[in-house]
């Protein structure tokens, strides 16, 4: 047995099968990759709906999904199936178009009646934070994607790159800056950008 496997056995405090050793090694490698920023931030949940994230609540009849239908897109990224591309956590904030808890199918995040309302909430959240003084990408993203559940440094680097700004650049809550922020954050949170400029403009017109 090599030194690596001996170390794993010692840490476990017991006897591991070959399969358990392999699993442990893979988990350690994955943890180390996340530390180095090689994996997406943990907040970007693109898994299909499952018992850990959803409940049996019934959607309202006027619910409109990202494709224009009325069904719950269970295989879509979490932010898209919830019409919440920024993955805003469920709070007591009375966002326009927000589904009440008894109609929300997600156990943790907000759901909105239609995509533009989720984008609107995302825009307002970012705009408010910038206006309150969190007007650099690091300050903004540390608030938006806290370190206890995200690879915040990797998130900051991605957003700076997408906005083509330095970490010390002062942000103004202009429509163009907010558009770039929304596109960048949505890509991180959902594994791709599902927000067209037309959809952004529709949401922005409602703030």
Kindly state whether residue 86 falls inside one of the protein's structural domains. yes
Q: Measuring CA to CA, which residue among 190, 58, 56, 180 is closest to residue 127? A: 180
Domain span holding position 159: 78-205
User: pTM surpassing 0.85?
Assistant: no
Does some domain include residue 117? yes
Give domain status of residue 122, yes or no: yes
What is the total count of domains within the chain? Answer: 1
On whether residue 29 sits in a domain, the answer given is: no
Taking every pair of Cα atoms in the chain, the longest distance, rounded to a whole number of angstroms, is 65
One digit per residue, the tens of pLDDT, for the chain of length 207 reads 444 443 333 333 444 444 444 444 344 443 433 333 333 443 444 444 344 467 888 999 999 999 999 999 999 999 999 999 999 999 999 999 999 999 999 989 999 999 999 999 999 999 999 999 999 999 999 999 999 888 999 999 999 999 999 999 999 999 999 999 999 999 999 999 899 999 999 999 999
Please report whether residue 109 resides in a domain. yes
The Cα 116–Cα 85 span in angstroms is 10
Instruction: Note whether residue 3 is domain-resident.
Output: no
């Amino acid at each position: 047995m090599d030194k690596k496997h001996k170390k794993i056995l010692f840490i476990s405090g017991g006897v591991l099968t070959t399969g358990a050793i392999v699993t442990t090694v893979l988990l350690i490698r994955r943890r180390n990759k996340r530390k180095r920023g090689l994996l997406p931030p943990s907040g970007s949940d693109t898994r299909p709906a499952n018992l850990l994230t959803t409940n049996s609540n019934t959607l309202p009849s006027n619910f409109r999904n990202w494709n224009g239908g009325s069904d719950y897109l269970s295989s879509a990224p979490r932010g898209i199936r919830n019409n919440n591309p920024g993955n805003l956590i469920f709070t007591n904030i009375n966002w326009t178009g927000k589904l009440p808890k008894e109609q929300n199918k997600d156990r943790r995040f907000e759901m909105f009646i239609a995509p533009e309302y989720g984008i609107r909430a995302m825009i307002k959240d970012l705009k408010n934070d910038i206006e309150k003084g969190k007007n650099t990408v690091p300050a903004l993203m540390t608030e938006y994607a806290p370190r206890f559940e995200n690879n915040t440094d990797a998130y900051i680097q991605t957003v700076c790159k997408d906005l083509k700004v330095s970490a010390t650049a002062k942000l103004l809550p202009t429509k163009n800056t907010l558009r770039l922020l929304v596109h960048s954050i949505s890509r991180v949170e959902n594994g791709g950008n599902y927000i067209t400029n037309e959809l952004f403009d529709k949401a922005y017109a409602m703030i």
